[in-house]
Structures are given as structure tokens and as C-alpha cells.
Amino acid sequence: DGASVAATQRAFVRDELVACRAQLSEAGVPSVEETDKHIEELIKAAKQAAAGTAAAVVFMGGMADSATAYPIFAQQNYKKPREANGKIACANCHLQGKGIDVRIPHEVLPDTIFKASIEIPAKYEKREQPIADGSKAKMNVGAVAIMPEGFKLAPKDRLPKQLKKEMKGLAWAPYSKELPNVVVAGPVPGNLYEKMTLPILAPDPAQNEDIHFDKQVLYVGGNRGRGQVYPEGNQSNNNQFFASAAGTITAIDGLKVSIQGADGNTVAQELLPGATIVVKVGDTVKKDEPITTNPNVGGFGQGEYEFVLQDMNRVYAYCAVSVSIFFAQLAFVLKKKQFEKVQLAEGF
């Protein structure tokens, strides 16, 4: 698995940086700052290798155009991944909505490890998305999980073998130093990690006063496919393009569409490779009318999933209460049946 993961990602420098980051956290280097420093060093090295500013620009472009979804973009641009209204930051750039399916236990006990299985369904083998040069490639997936306060990623040495196997080598990394309860994973190949397993360690309210036996909420966001907007604000080629002005199409030259307006001015609109142009020369278009197909086959989905941090004493107490209630009910019915005999004997 690891080898194929590496093979698919080798093509893009940025991916190597992300993979590097994942490896670092895998090796037990927890500090995000250190990882960031490492990434910076790598960027510096890449810049030196490319020799000069021009090459650096090319590198930046290559970084922006690779065929994956990036939790790291969120990490770099959003202090908290979840907005006040509940929207997860990924949705700011991954504009298409597509559902995810998350399964977690209904109740968990303190200081135990449980798993959340996050399914990001899509037809990964069949549906392909455009990558930077417009050619098609398979989709990658990424996910962010916002665990309740005090919950954290299960430590490696406590993971059961079965769970380790289920994770298939997926590396979850903390979102930032301030938010150890928020973890991210990806980008990883979608066909391999359609179902991601997140091992969570429940905290113990006996050891931490801020944790209570209570209902907890897990917020999960999962995405497949490339985004539509880059952190710099420019749009990616995984987009549908719209006419920038009203008028008649006078020329289509490769990816350059010229639109002549009613006032005679011609607007040349540059499209990005990936989408198919659906207008012909001579067509009349309104402003903001789509002039290409929508090549985006991915999408982002999020959800809230509740579970209970259960106190076993409550369960024991409830068992005691319900058993005593059962015997009380039994006694009432038996007593009634007994007294009915008296009523009948008295010739009611």
C-alpha cells in the first residue's frame, strides 16, 4: 500500500511535502511547528534546486495545481476549522456538496479506544477528475475530524492490532498545537481510503475535571476531489467557466474565448484546461452564462455525530432500579390477582 501511495504522489512536490509531514507525525514528531520548519526547508531546497525566482514561481504554480485535496491549506489559513455556524472550512474551496457516512459507537467508556469509520463514497475507479494540465486522474480524499474537548487520537502503542490493520497505514495528524482534539488526514488515494478509520481515545473524567460524563458531538468533514479555489483566491481548472461579458462569441482559440459585446468591444476570456467548451462561434451568450461543462466530480460533505461518554456506575444503578421496578410491578399484579379472589368470594 505504502509504495503505491508514494508512487501516485511522487509527481508533485507539494504532495511530497504533505507525505513528509505525515511521515513525521507517524514517526512521533508531534510539533506542527517543527513539521512546518521542515516543509520550509524543503521549499527552500526545492527553490535552490530550481535556481532562481522564475523556477520558484513555476514551483509555486506546480504546488497550486496538483491533483489533490489539502487539509494543510485549511491548517494554514484557518485557526479553527469549524465556523460559528457549523460550516467546516473545507467548504470554502470545495464548493460541491457530496454526502459522507460516519459510524461511531453509541456509548463509550472513559479511557478506552474506539473507532470512528468515515466513509467518503464516490466511484473512484470510474469517475475521474481533471488535474492541472487538464488530463484526467483518479480522485484523492481527505478528512477532518473535530473531536470533543479532551478526546484525542489514540496513541500508537495502545492501538489494537485489528484497528491498526483497519487503518491501512492512514496517518492522522493534529490540526494545530492549540487544537489537539482536531485531526486531519489526507490527501490519500480515494480508491484505497474510501473508508477511513479514526482511532479515538476517550478521556477519563476522574482525571480531568473539565471532562464530564455527557453526550459528546463529533464533527466530521470529508472531501474527495480537487478544490475550486486556491488559498490565494484564484480559481482552479476544476471549475465550470462562465461568460465574463454578454455578447456574441467571435472566436474560440484553444482555451481563449473571445466575446464581442453589443458596444463592439471584444473581451478575450482565458479558460483553464479541464472543462469542455460548450459554446460555438456565433453563439450569443448572456453574462455569467456557463460556457463550459462542469468537470468537477468530487465534493465535500460534513456532519455531526453524537455519542455518549458513559459512566458504568450509571448503567449499574439503572440495572438495579429497573430490576427492582420489575419486581415491584410483579408484586402489584400478584397482589391484585390475590385480592380479586376475595372480591369474587364476597360475591361482588
Residue numbers belonging to the annotated binding site for heme? 70, 90, 93-94
At its nearest, how many Å lie between another protein and the CB of residue 110?
Answer: 15
Strand segments, DSSP code E, in 107-158 are: 107-108, 113-119, 129-130, 136-137, 140-146, 152-153
Q: Is 178 in the site for another protein (CB under 8 A)?
A: no
At its nearest, how many Å lie between another protein and the CB of residue 231?
Answer: 23
- Residue 239 CA to residue 70 CA, distance in Å, equals 17
Of 49 and 333, the one with the shorter C-beta distance to another protein is: 333
- Residue 118 CA to residue 144 CA, distance in Å, equals 10
Q: Is 29 in the site for another protein (CB under 8 A)?
A: no
Q: Is 107 in the site for another protein (CB under 8 A)?
A: yes
Q: Is 337 in the site for another protein (CB under 8 A)?
A: yes
* Binding-site sequence positions: 70, 90, 93-94
Q: Is 345 in the site for another protein (CB under 8 A)?
A: no
At its nearest, how many Å lie between another protein and the CB of residue 341?
Answer: 7
Q: Is 340 in the site for another protein (CB under 8 A)?
A: yes
At its nearest, how many Å lie between another protein and the CB of residue 195?
Answer: 25
Neighbouring residues of 200: CB distance < 8 A, sequence distance ≥ 6: 113, 114, 115, 116, 147, 151, 152, 153, 154
- Residue 227 CA to residue 215 CA, distance in Å, equals 34
Taking the CA of residue 163 as centre, how many other CA atoms within 13 Å lie in the half-sphere pointing to its CB?
19
Determine the interface stretch with another protein among 197-205, 255-263, 282-290, 302-310 (rule: CB under 8 A): 302-310
Of 291 and 309, the one with the shorter C-beta distance to another protein is: 309
Tell me which residue has cell 465534493. 299
Positive or negative, the Cα torsion across 119, 125, 126, 132? Answer: positive
- Residue 83 CA to residue 80 CA, distance in Å, equals 7
- Residue 33 CA to residue 242 CA, distance in Å, equals 41
- Residue 198 CA to residue 185 CA, distance in Å, equals 9
Of 156 and 336, the one with the shorter C-beta distance to another protein is: 336
- Residue 151 CA to residue 208 CA, distance in Å, equals 11
Contact status, residue 120 vs residue 222, Cβ threshold 8 Å: yes
- Residue 220 CA to residue 179 CA, distance in Å, equals 15
> Which run of H or of E encompasses 71?
helix 71-77
Cell of 11: 509527481
Determine the interface stretch with another protein among 224-232, 259-267, 278-286, 304-312 (rule: CB under 8 A): 304-312
Interface with another protein: number of residues (CB under 8 A) = 36
Q: Is 343 in the site for another protein (CB under 8 A)?
A: yes
At its nearest, how many Å lie between another protein and the CB of residue 44?
Answer: 40
At its nearest, how many Å lie between another protein and the CB of residue 108?
Answer: 12
Q: Is 256 in the site for another protein (CB under 8 A)?
A: no
Q: Is 289 in the site for another protein (CB under 8 A)?
A: no
At its nearest, how many Å lie between another protein and the CB of residue 73?
Answer: 21
Q: Is 215 in the site for another protein (CB under 8 A)?
A: yes
Q: Is 161 in the site for another protein (CB under 8 A)?
A: no
348 DSSP 8-state letter: -
Summarize as ranges the residues that interact with another protein (CB under 8 A). Answer: 83-87, 106-107, 213-217, 306, 308, 310, 314-315, 317-318, 321-322, 325-326, 328-329, 332-333, 335-337, 339-341, 343-344, 348
